[in-house]
Amino acid sequence: MLSVVLLAGGKGERMGSHLPKQFLSLQNKAIALYSLEVFMQLEEVEEIIVVCAPEYRHFFSHIPVQFALPGEQRQDSVYNGLRKVNPQAEWICIHDAARPFITPKIVLSLFTEGKNVGAASLAMLATCGI
């Protein structure tokens, strides 16, 4: 069983926006929904816990997810999400909802590597157009 903890509790204060960045619209869809939809496509995923403030849960109202409250800091939000994970889960994937450019192929390769060596972390090269 694989559980996903989707971190969507950040306030995005540095953005200076009325909405946290994970809820800003990108091509008419909240950024957080891109990652969520990738995880929903994967048959390996049996539960998704979204960590976000209650006032943003409506973004996920059409999707069967569980919710956890965000904490003061990122590690507190991760902890709150982990507390909601089914104890039967063999694997847990933690993902930042403000990072929408994952694909099913990338996630499956991460899962495969994690099973092969016991744990895995995904990173992508940051590029700058300057």
pLDDT tens, residue by residue, 68-112? 999 999 999 999 999 999 999 999 999 999 999 999 999 999 999
pLDDT, tens digit, for every residue of 18-54?
A: 788 899 999 999 999 999 999 999 999 999 999 999 9
- Residue 42 sits in a domain whose CATH number is 3.90.550.10
71's tokens: 């904490």
Q: Strand runs (DSSP E) across 1-130, as ranges?
A: 2-7, 45-51, 66-68, 91-96
Question: pTM here?
Answer: 0.90
SS3 49: strand
Is 69 part of a structural domain of the chain?
A: yes
- Other beta carbons within 10 angstroms of residue 52's beta carbon come to 26
Is 123 part of a structural domain of the chain?
A: no
Is 128 part of a structural domain of the chain?
A: no
CA distance 130 to 128: 6
Spatial CB neighbours of 121, under 8 Å, sequence gap ≥ 6: 110
Is 33 part of a structural domain of the chain?
A: yes
How many folded domains does the chain comprise? 1
Domain hosting 98: range is: 2-117
Is 127 part of a structural domain of the chain?
A: no
Is 122 part of a structural domain of the chain?
A: no
Is 104 part of a structural domain of the chain?
A: yes
27: phi > 0 → left, psi -120 to 50 → alpha, else beta; which?
Answer: left
